[in-house]
Amino acid sequence: MSANTVTEQLTAAGRAIEHDSFAIIDAEAGPHAYTAEQWPLVRRMIHASADFEMNGLTAFHPEALRAGMAAVLKGGTPVVADVEMICVGLSRPRLKHFGLTTHHHISDADVIAAAQAEGGTRAVQAMKKAQRLGTLDGAIVGIGNAPTALLELARLIREEGVRPALVLAMPVGFVSAAESKEAMMAIDAVPWIAIRGRKGGSTLVVAAIHALLSLAEAEQKKAA
Q: In terms of residues, how long is the chain?
A: 224
Q: Among 71, 85, 49, which Cα is nearest to 215's?
A: 71
The pLDDT score that the predictor gives to residue 14 is 81
In the chain (224 residues long), the average pLDDT of successive 10-residue segments reads 71 85 94 95 97 98 97 96 97 96 97 97 98 98 98 98 98 97 98 98 98 93 80
Q: Residue ranges of the alpha helices (H) in 64-161? A: 64-74, 84-89, 92-98, 109-118, 122-133, 147-160
Environment class of residue 161 by beta-carbon count within 10 Å: exposed (0-12), middle (13-18) or buried (19+)? exposed
CA–CA distance, 137 with 23 (Å, rounded to integer) = 37
**Amino acid 221: pLDDT:** 83
Contact of 141 with 151, CB cutoff 8 Å: no
Whether 73 contacts 220, CB under 8 Å: yes
Instruction: Tell me the domain boundaries of the chain.
Output: 12-223
pLDDT of residue 16: 87
Q: What pLDDT shows up at residue 73?
A: 96
CATH-assigned architecture of domain 12-223: 3-Layer(aba) Sandwich (3.40)
Residue 1: the pLDDT is 39
Q: How many helices and strands (H and E) does the chain possess?
A: 11, 6
pLDDT at position 66, please? 96
Q: 47 an active-site residue?
A: yes
pLDDT of 70 reads 97
CA atoms of 47 and 29, how far apart (whole Å)? 12
200 in the Ramachandran plot: left (φ > 0), alpha (ψ -120 to 50) or beta?
left
> Any idea what DSSP says for residue 8?
S
* DSSP 8-state code for residue 108: -
- CB atoms inside a 10 Å sphere around CB 69: 21
Q: What distance, in Å, lies between the first and last C-alpha atoms of the chain?
A: 19
87: left (phi over 0), alpha (psi -120 to 50) or beta: alpha
Spatial separation of the C-alpha atoms in residues 25 and 102, rounded to whole Å: 30
Q: Is 192 helix (H, G, I), strand (E, B) or coil?
A: strand
Choose the catalytic residue: 19, 32, 47, 61.
Answer: 47
Q: What gap in Å lies between CA 33 and CA 18, rounded to an integer?
A: 23
